[in-house]
Amino acid sequence: MRIGPQRRQPKYSPPEPRACEYCGDSFKPPFPSSDARRVRRFCSDDHARRARAENVRELLDERGLLSTGDLVERFGTDRRVVINNIIEGRLAAEEIKVPGALRPISYGVSEREAARFEREWRNGGDGRRAFSWVPERVVERSRGDGATSTSRVAG
């Protein structure tokens, strides 16, 4: 009779080194993947994030759209203000869905729409309204986006 640790057959095939889809470096996944959907494609979480971010950038560029980050810079405001103007319908945007990303929904805004919005806002006519929001609605709409903070009302 054998005593001692028994050698267990690996249940899944051992991880094969593969090339990171972002940097191209070869890496060895830490564990054999038991789930095809979770096959590691990147050497690190950082590279997975960057790849997703660049994917969004590419999708926006293809459509000739500005990202919310672009608008934050252009308007000199913060992301929540931009997002809230979009979800409240004051700033027309296209939804870009990125499954699995930190922000599963990104928005793209055309140059023309950004200019229209900016003009209205700078003229002050709609400025006040453009910077108010209904907190309950914002919480509801942004659930899953990680952005649930509503304590601050801009403007």
Sequence letter at residue 119: R
Q: Work out how close the CB of 26 gets to Zn ion at its nearest, in angstroms, rounded to a whole number.
A: 10
> Which residue, 23 or 105, has its beta carbon nearer to Zn ion?
23
At CA 97, angle to CA 40 and CA 117, rounded to 5? 140
* DSSP secondary structure code for residue 34 in this structure: S
> Which residue, 23 or 92, has its beta carbon nearer to Zn ion?
23
Q: Which residues bind Zn ion (CB under 5 A)?
A: 20, 22-23, 43, 47
Round to whole Å and give the CA distance between 116 and 39: 44
> Which residue, 47 or 90, has its beta carbon nearer to Zn ion?
47
Q: Work out how close the CB of 45 gets to Zn ion at its nearest, in angstroms, rounded to a whole number.
A: 10
Length, in residues, of the chain:
155
Q: Work out how close the CB of 28 gets to Zn ion at its nearest, in angstroms, rounded to a whole number.
A: 12
